Amino acid sequence: MGWWGKIVGGAFGFLLGGPLGAVLGAALGHNVDRGLDRPFGGPSRRAPGSREEIQTAFFTATFCIMGHLCKADGRVSPDEIGLARLVMARMDLSPDQARAAMGLFNEGKSPGFPLEEILGQLRHEVRGRRRLLRLFLEIQLAAAYADGALGAAEERILLHICDRLGFSHLEFRHLEAMVRAGGRHRRQARPDAPPPRYGLEDAYAILNVPESASDGEVKKAYQRLMSQHHPDKLLAQGLPEEMIKVATEKTRDIRGAYERIREARGS
């Protein structure tokens, strides 16, 4: 039985304790018992790292932190709610999973949301799977840019997330440029839309290279990004199967940016 099957069967408390388990329980409408309240990583919890545990932690953290981030400026805009629903649509979630995701989004908006504890447990559960954490951060950036701009409060939270998850502020700026460039084309796109045709400025931003980069440097950047977002590698690290479409979409965009640059250079 996969991670979602165990959640439906009521076994999510055994998959995930601590603050993530408590938030998931609240989103699903379950009473939080002592089993879910116990500290994660303690003697009553088995060691983290199982595939189902990582999948549950990633899914839970993705949507509750997305809700918290979208509420950072005091209100959640229709664009931000639309972005959350668009992410879910691109994942092709089942109706039950979509309801759970929106429940988590709403939990993240609630007063007293335990951001510190959630981030600490996410890092603990994922245990250094950097590709997975990078995709998590990219999803949060896309949520922050859903209304077309990154607010000061959202930026503070995102930089704090980077600090807690082990990403430098320089890495954050690179990811921000990539997400911002892609978002200009993707914001109104349908889930089944073909890869957009990027302008050159956005294409270079997505690959995180200057226009003065050599052909070899551009190719190396393209290969590195394709490796970081490779769906099979992300699945191996514990990405929920339902989220594979998000990773696949990113590889299409990276490939589209690379092909646009090659076309412009006649190579």
Domain ranges of the chain: 3-265
- Report DSSP letters for 177-235, one per residue: HHHHHHHHHHTT--TTPPPP---HHHHHHHHT--TT--HHHHHHHHHHHHHHT-HHHHH
Burial (CB count <10 Å: 0-12, 13-18, 19+), residue 219? middle
pLDDT at 36: 41
Residue 34 pLDDT exceeds 60 = no
Query: Which residues are within 8 A (CB) of 247 and not within 5 positions of it... i.e. 6 or more apart?
Result: 135, 229, 230, 231, 234, 239
Residue 190 pLDDT exceeds 60 = no
Q: Is 40 helix (H, G, I), strand (E, B) or coil?
A: coil
Mean pLDDT of 63-80: 86
The torsion angle over the Cα atoms of residues 151, 93, 243 and 148, rounded to 10 degrees, is -20
pLDDT tens profile 95-135: 888 888 999 999 999 989 999 999 999 999 998 899 999 99
Tokens for 250, please give them.
């990113």
Percent of the chain with pLDDT over 70: 84
- Which band of pLDDT confidence, cut at 50, 70 and 90, is reported for residue 30? low
Cβ atoms of 243 and 251 closer than 8 Å: no
pLDDT at 264: 94
pLDDT at 62: 95
pLDDT tens profile 35-65: 344 444 443 344 456 888 899 999 999 999 9
Q: Which long-range contacts (CB under 8 A, 24 or more apart) does 40-45 make?
A: 40/121, 40/124, 40/125, 41/124, 44/17, 45/17, 45/18
